[in-house]
Amino acid sequence: MDETGSILGESLYSQKDVHLKAGGIIPPVAQRLHREHIARVTQEALDMSGVAPSDLSAVATTVKPGLALSLGVGLDYSIKFIQQHKKPFIPIHHMEAHALTVRMIEPVQFPFLVLLVSGGHCLLAVSKGVDDFLLLGKSLDEAPGDILDKVARRLSLISHPECSTLSGGQAIEHIAKQGDRLKFSLKLPMGQHSDCNFSFSGLRTQVIHIIHKKEGEEGIPMGQLLSCVNDIAAAVQYTVASHIAKRTHRAILFCKAKGLLPQNSATLVVSGGVASNQYIRKTLKIVTDSTDLTLLCPPAKLCTDNGVMIAWNGIERLREGKGILNHVENICYEPKAALGTDISGQVREAAIKVPRLKLEIKE
């Protein structure tokens, strides 16, 4: 990537199909595939760009948070590369990269509110600068993409003719279009907590229980498709969307009360794999319309995990001269890493009541 954010060369080796067939990510398998492909993928991107390693200004690589075994492969490879070519190194925080991606597409000014929803993370934060975040809330257990993946797996959607190549979240979104969410009523998580944290594991338990009961009623063995898969998908998607919308609405009201966002033309940025869900986006649009915020989502390709967002984060840091290392002897990857300053306690104390919104999406 050049300093304006133009992509000069790009290469991708996706492990999605392998993980889908295995029914989830097996860390040693992910590590082996990273090892087998990292050199070729890097070389392809460089070849396409026409830029020699000696002409690079710096190398940016994800070092936190994430799967230890995968982070290790990327970091080892990068350290060898930068030592060989004598280049500065920019370690990248995965969530910071998700949050800043939008600025590659549109000149969104700081501060803005950001919601990150994916298979591994779920958080709300105020982005005050390239490396300056206030954390308003996060998931206390699982991430929304994770529960959509688990429900899709439990519903055996991989054997659904229209879903065999889709991720769990995509499969749920696809079949939910034909479903009636009102056929099943699911309890909205954390109704008693006036904060911006999230919880999805109780919802997963409720849904698994319903699937089990329906299998008994229909005499369907586990592993075969239930007749009501569409309705279950629609109910889960609606409940996930409503939970996310409610917490986001509270975050917006908290930011307004504390003057954390511009008074006019404040922005909500939504990113992460789950942000490519159109139903969830439309639900969030109802919230931003009612609070006079602008809703921005990067294109789906940049919402799911990608290398471009890491390069862009490198450019943002390079421009501001932040976190650029000339010595990498002590650098380590960090499987767990918080984002910014945690002010979720202040959000809880403010105990903001969120007005009811009609979150009904007509497809």
* Residues in contact with Zn ion by the rule CB under 5 A: 118, 305
CB atoms within 10 A of CB 18: 14
The tokens describing 337, both together, are 């890493």
Shortest distance (Å) from residue 95 CB to ligand KG4: 9
Could you tell me which of 213, 215, 203, 293 has the C-alpha nearest to residue 244?
203
Q: Which stretch binds ligand KG4 (CB under 6 A): 29-37, 131-139, 266-274, 288-296?
A: 266-274
Token reading at 64: 């936190």
Binding mask of the shown chain, residues 88 to 127, with x at each position contacting ligand KG4 by CB under 6 A: ------------------------------xxx-------
The residue among 72 and 119 lying less far from ligand KG4, judged by its C-beta, is 119
Cα three-residue angle 91-95-100, rounded to 5 degrees: 90
Cβ distance to Zn ion smaller for residue 65 or 111:
65
- State which residue, 230 or 304, has the beta carbon closest to ligand KG4: 304
106 and 286 in contact (C-beta within 8 Å)? Answer: no
- Smallest distance from the beta carbon of 143 to ligand KG4, in angstroms? 7
> For residues 232 and 274, which CB has a smaller minimum distance to ligand KG4 in the complex?
274
- Which of ligand KG4, Zn ion, none lies near 304, with the C-beta cut-off 5 to 8 A by kind? ligand KG4
| Beta-carbon count within 10 A of 363 CB | 9
Considering the rule CB under 6 A, would residue 272 count as an interface residue with ligand KG4? Answer: yes
Does 307 interact with ligand KG4 (rule: CB under 6 A)? no
Rg (CA), the chain: 21
Nearest to 354 by CA among 247, 265, 279: 247
State in angstroms the smallest separation of the CB of 97 from Zn ion.
8
Q: Where does this chain touch ligand KG4 (CB under 6 A) — which range of 57-65, 71-79, 143-151, 193-201?
A: 143-151
Are residues 12 and 41 in contact, defined by beta-carbon separation less than 8 angstroms?
Answer: yes
In angstroms, how far is CA 188 from the centroid of its own chain? 21
Check if the beta carbon of residue 113 is closer than 8 Å to that of residue 251.
Answer: yes
Q: Which regions of the chain does DSSP assign to beta strands (E)?
A: 59-64, 89-93, 112-117, 122-129, 132-138, 267-271, 294-296, 341-342
Tokens at residue 270, please? 């939504």
**62 forms part of the interface with ligand KG4 (CB under 6 A):** no
Site string (161-200) toward ligand KG4, x via CB under 6 A: ------xxxx--x---------------------------
Cα–Cα distance for residue pair 353/192, rounded to 1 Å = 11
Interface residue with ligand KG4 among 72, 74, 91, 145 (CB under 6 A) is 145
CB of 98 to Zn ion, least distance (A): 6
To ligand KG4, the closest distance from the beta carbon of 334 in angstroms equals: 16
Q: Which residues bind ligand KG4 (CB under 6 A)?
A: 118-120, 145-146, 148-149, 167-170, 173, 272-274, 276-277, 304-305
